[in-house]
Structure 1
């Protein structure tokens, strides 16, 4: 799954409920609803409960529930993340927000996962255990899946694409090209469609450190280079100086492009489709705000959707399924992409309606759900099977899965309250400190013209990811 920008349906404090209902933020409960559905389905998918249900194996042979859920996340992220940056008109504030929304809960969950692994469950990937220093450094960049290093948690692969998307969004903003979402999405989807069958993924490194052998130095060198470029770009962005911000954002964009095109672990067509899908989500937002022609947005989205379906049909076969993590059938990929777009479309049609509170609540805690569900899955499975007899058939065989899902929705709200929200508050304090000690020029002389007037319908304040 992915880190998704969460814009709450209602501000926790401020004017009366009547006034809040009239604000544009009240219309974005549908995004929380979509995230809630996606987070729930990711947890269900990884619980392996579906194959236990009659007809479940046939369902999974033709539809990848996990891919469907993360594609919904990518569409939502593409729709709202660039709006957050453009509303602020502040690249530094954007990145401070991202850092303090992603890392606090992520670091804690990975640390706990290491403890769970010590109890005998492979919650974290093997590379993280056998190559802790290199793996830790790579995973802290959130670019590990594009550097030949296994993800500390399996679900973290989506965060790599989120990070690259943030790089591109920042670079486009400082260049003043941020409204070109539609042609950019078509470019990525077209690359997937035309080149997906013959461009080999991961050209620079072995698949992971364990397979590197004598070539392990190549991975180490790439990690060092990426860290140096990433830190340099971030320092420039956080400096607050217009030319430095521009240079830093473009540096990050270049880093993301190199890793995406030359060393993504997944297939080339999937990598291209993910970015195409996210930028298509941005194009939808721009069409809704009348920043681009709606016909152009329709053409763009239909092309990306068709490319996604056809790429699944043409390319998701044979060895490709080992990298897309789908079953050996083109249906699993193609139908998941189609269903994600249909779900997002239905969400758009219902965007002005009030969504069930349980779904919007799930959306608010979706990032925590996404991160904690795998460690809880393994811990629950280990504990239940160690201390209780669980038959392979019958209603009792569902007990570990049901217990895992129940525990996820106990732990995730606690993670959200005690890790995510404090991290956000800390990020705001850091941003205030940076603005005070390293003030930026006034908007009229800043690195890029703020898009406040053009995104007046965008609710205030980005919120937690995923």
Structure 2
């Protein structure tokens, strides 16, 4: 199966729609519940999520080598001699996803009991994820598809979302980001949701995690690295800091958390992506370009948090947010099959194939949202929120 993207040191989700102060916003990998009545939805955040997902898709289709080169019949450098250099920056959409996730998980977890927090996360992550696992496994098992499928046993383990720590082959190449998200949820749940979210507790959580992640990097201890995720921590923590600014723009501590997270985050992004370790990942990004994209991601979330993008309140952004997670899940592997069919078998030119593949994956995402998420998400959420009956 595919290798993780270049942001991996050793080794993006019908959707919930963020409300300004209400429950259940959405991160890259997750859909979100409906906003509370009378509370405006942060539709610009939905739009930013889709932009980040499209950045990742551009990277997977035209900004790296590997299996996508088999689909095109040659390297994307040949298919897109100029655009491929820009597409290569698309992998930074993942870092933008993580900043958004820090913001929206802080919002959705604030004042919420552990059972409700767990039910919300599980019910939003799992339906489209399970559907994507089944769909990609089935497509890759077709005789006409040339890409290798995982074993039946490994495919079943993938349904747990724990395939990466268990050393099992992954059905979805992008699922490594979900493993990072799950670890963030666990840390946030144990340190903030379980004891009860307060500003002081959240600030302490950010400070301790930042320092501990730095110590982990210095110690080069695999277990600490696994738990504390020093490479990704600044993006999650930066999103949390931006949420604190959203609550009170005069909170200087929150501005400090955000600023320090940006400084550390751009360092890790440049360190990991300027000269990617795997030649398939391409290695011609400039350090200035990487810093610019990371800065733009932080700035966009901050502008939304400060209310400067309230004018971007178009209803279609709600749909965009709903499609982001299923699109993110299916676009890479099924994109290989679509690109090969359109370009090599049907003879469509590169840019037409690129555009039609994006459209096809968005349509598939709409189907997953309409017929999977909208039906299963409330069922799972209600079931997990239901307290068991006392045994007499």
- Which residue number corresponds to residue 140 of structure 1? 159
1:7 aligns to 2:28 (yes or no): no
Give the SS at the match of 2:167.
Answer: coil
1:283 aligns to 2:241 (yes or no): yes
1:331-346 maps to which residues of 2 (within 5 A)? 331=287, 333-346=290-303
- Which residue number corresponds to residue 149 of structure 1? 168
| Distance verdict in 2 for CA 1:151–1:330, change over 3 Å | farther
- Which residue number corresponds to residue 103 of structure 1? 126
Give the SS at the match of 2:51.
Answer: helix
Give the SS at the match of 1:64.
Answer: helix
Which residue of the other structure, out of 39, 45, 48, is the alignment partner of 2:53?
Answer: 39
- Which residue number corresponds to residue 91 of structure 1? 114
Q: CA deviation at 1:162?
A: 1.2
* 5+ residue gaps, structure 2: 6-11, 23-34, 64-75
Q: CA deviation at 1:335?
A: 4.0
Which residue of the other structure, out of 416, 435, 457, is the alignment partner of 2:369?
Answer: 416
- Which residue number corresponds to residue 86 of structure 2? 59
Q: How many residues align?
A: 350
- Which residue number corresponds to residue 327 of structure 1? 283
Q: CA deviation at 1:305?
A: 0.5
TM-score by length of 1: 0.65
| Distance verdict in 2 for CA 1:313–1:98, change over 3 Å | closer
Distance 1:348 1:340 in 2: 12
1:399 aligns to 2:352 (yes or no): yes
Alignment check: 8 A CA contact 1:36 1:366 kept: yes
Alignment check: 8 A CA contact 1:277 1:304 kept: yes
Give the SS at the match of 1:144.
Answer: coil
| Distance verdict in 2 for CA 1:407–1:134, change over 3 Å | closer
Q: Show CA shifts across 1:316-344 (max 9, x none).
A: 566x6349956365626544422321222
| Distance verdict in 2 for CA 1:134–1:412, change over 3 Å | closer
- Which residue number corresponds to residue 71 of structure 2? none
TM-score by length of 2: 0.75
Q: CA deviation at 1:422?
A: 0.8
- Which residue number corresponds to residue 81 of structure 1? 105
Give the SS at the match of 2:164.
Answer: helix
* 5+ residue gaps, structure 1: 12-19, 204-257, 391-395, 440-466
| Distance verdict in 2 for CA 1:425–1:344, change over 3 Å | same
Alignment check: 8 A CA contact 2:14 2:374 kept: no
When you count helix as a share of all residues, which structure comes out higher? 1
Q: CA deviation at 1:385?
A: 4.4
Distance 1:4 1:184 in 2: 31
